[in-house]
Structure 1
Amino acid sequence: MRRFQAEDTEAWNAFVDGSGNGTFLHDRRFMEYHSDRFDDYSMIIEAGDKICAVLPANRVKDTLYSHGGLTYGGLLFGESMSAELMVETVSALVNTLRADGFKHLHYKSIPHIFHQYPAEQDIYALVQHGARMVRCDLSSAIAIGRSPKFSKSKRQGVTRARKAGLQVEESTDFGAFWHILSERLIEAHSAAPTHSLEEIEQLHGHFPDQIRLFVALDGEHIKGGVVVFDCGPVVHVQYMATTEDGRRDAALDLITSHLLETVCSDKSWFNFGISTTDGGRILNSGLARQKEMFGARSVVFYQYELEIS
């Protein structure tokens, strides 16, 4: 077990790409966009001369976070990782962190919908070593082809958008959409997007097939847009926003319907993201209800903490 070094980048990315629970968010090109904000302490676990797991992580004093800059982190591994080997891997990780002076491990587990196949042996191994769940966020996801249908009001919204003449197209004009998104976030939450325009354009340059923007157009005017991240079995909604006219004409209902019928046709899940704040303690019921009206139902995002004594 050793720390990640820059010369490991190609091998790291290849391993993540072939893993059973990693997504492009764990690719070093994605992680590096905010590397100046985090003290990287990612780990590589090897069996013989082959990588058997990697851990995206950063250090904050005596706590290792996996990962502070990612929605989910945790150990990434492939089909060769048995339950027994995972228990041994976590034991070795704990011993290494203890020797390196860490007192705590904060672990953001990867929700099951992002797994290519069942891959939760890391949770068992952590709990066996004394980890406890310290945070639970609630997300909402549509099981493609298996979830409840759109509510009556959402179906009416799609019809209203079509009658208004809106058309959905894929776009690369992130600048125009970021203007709409930023205005809405300031009005609603006095906040800014997680990614700046420069950052999202940089990331889109690295991952043009994974980071995609879809807009509802009235002629040449954008009335609303959705940025999605293609995470293997999951299409994840990263940003949604409309103009006032777009909200009246149900632009987001139309875009969501379009995505489910086209982009998501060969996917398993369409994830809207979390509806919780204050460390998962407060549920935004109205937001969750809106997602449920599209047929989405609850998926939890767990975080664990392990004391290293």
Structure 2
Amino acid sequence: MDIKVQKYHPSIETEWNQFIKTSVAGTFLFHRDFMDYHKERFEDHSLMFYKENQLICCMPAHIKSQVFYSHRGLSYGGWILSEIGTENMHLLMEVFLEYIKDAIFSVSGSLIVKAEVQLPPLSYHKLHQEMAHIFKEKGFRVNRILDNLFVKLDQKYRVSSKKTRGYRNGKFAGLKIERSNDFKRFWEQVLVPQLRARYASQPVHSLDEIELLASKFPENIVQHNLYREDQLLAGITFFIKNDIVKSQYTASSSLGLKINAVGYLYMEAMKEFQEKGFLLMDYGSVNEPDGSVNKGLLRFKKELGCEKEEWKRWEIEF
């Protein structure tokens, strides 16, 4: 085979980062400054694939308990490809499986019994559909399906009259959106208290972590906070991924819930990002930790014009 694979090493960080910038569907999530902010939690085993000494594919990954994961510190992973890489996808799979089964032991000292890959949502790019087809063809099976919601901003979308009622009845009067990289007030006054009270949980990123990441990627991580006078009613933390915008964190105060503050923020954001030329807004999944669907959340997002897709995680055992 004329494709070679090697394990990532920090000494070639610059090569990795430069490739991500020019790849077909790579985003700031795969930049090593984003991946490595919590590197002590993972045994990194990211891969780099070369054809005739030219880097054509990167794969963020780590190993835990004899399982090879596309990096679980990220929302998704899989192959990050160059244009040349897309021409070699079937061969990449053969090289990948051979490496996992035969070569990884000599590199890591671990005998791998399973590989698990969380591909990006299919709505992100047409090549992810081809990836999924190849994974299925090579014996991978689906071990989890999430219900992901999104709006195509390059098309006309329809918002329910229930959501736009606040424009007509005055509930949205006097609302002001602040767009900034100031996350402290939202985290401390709304997000953390609401997650603790309603779900007994906490954000994946602490305030210190989101501030660190936003300082490194100020154009990619932005905060929209909603106020009436000086009272914070709701906020959304957006991750900007090229021509896709993802709502990463969303929360509302008890008063904000009464006036559909989050719905207002979403509707205004869709108009803003559409005007800026973004193609898609990803609203995230509507699944509970046990995999069941939160019907109220599903209804809320569909009323905002969202479509639903299956977001699959694949695995293969050796």
Task: State TM-score, norm by structure 1.
Answer: 0.93
User: What's the CA shift for 1:303?
Assistant: 0.5
Sequence identity of aligned pairs in percent?
Answer: 25
1:11-44 superposed Cα distances (whole Å, 9 cap, x missing partner): 1111112112222111111111121111100000
Q: Structure 2: 5+ residue runs without aligned partners?
A: 105-110
Contact 1:29 1:206 in 2 (8 A): yes
Cα displacement string for residues 33-87 of structure 1 (whole angstroms, at most 9, x for unaligned residues): 121111100000011221110110010121100021111110110222245x211
Q: How many residue pairs are counted as aligned between the two chains?
A: 304
Moved more, 123-132 or 176-185: 123-132
Give the Cα–Cα distance (whole angstroms) in 1 for the partners of residues 263 and 134 of structure 2.
42
Q: TM-score if structure 2 supplies the norm length?
A: 0.91
Confirm or deny: 8 A CA contact 2:181 2:221 kept in the other structure. no
Residue 317 of structure 2 corresponds to 307
The CA distance in 1 between the partners of 2:130 and 2:49, in whole Å, is: 16
Structure 1: runs of 5+ lacking an equivalent: none
Match of 2:282, as an amino acid? Answer: N
**Structure 1 residue 279: Cα displacement:** 5.4
Distance 1:71 1:119 in 2: 15
Q: Deviations over 1:79-119 (max 9, x none)?
A: 22245x2111111111111122312110101112222x534
- The match for 1:31 is 35
Structure 2 equivalent of residue 139 of structure 1? 148
Alignment match, 1:230: 240
CA distance in 2, matches of 1:145, 1:42: 34
Per the alignment, residue 4 of structure 1 pairs with: 8
Q: Answer yes or no: is 1:69 the counterpart of 2:73.
A: yes
Bigger drift between 98-107 and 39-48 goes to 98-107
Match of 1:267 among 250, 274, 278: 278
* Structure 2 Cα separation of the partners of residues 172 and 304 of structure 1: 35
- Contact 1:158/1:250 (<8 A) preserved: no
Higher RCO (C-alpha under 8 Å, 6+ residues apart): 1
Deviation string 1:232-274 (CA, Å, 9 cap, x unpaired) is 2211001111112222222212211221111342111111100
Tell me, yes or no, if the aligned pair for 1:66 and 1:73 is still in contact at 8 Å: yes
Runs of 4+ aligned structure 1 residues displaced above 4 Å come to none
Q: Aligned Cα RMSD in Å?
A: 1.6
> 1:94 is matched with which residue?
97
Letter in 2 for 1:188: R
Give the AA of the match of 2:65: K
How far has the Cα of 1:155 moved from its partner?
A: 0.3
1:296 corresponds in structure 2 to: 306
CA–CA distance in structure 2, aligned partners of residues 290 and 172 of structure 1:
27
2:154–2:274: 8 Å Cα contact kept in structure 1? no
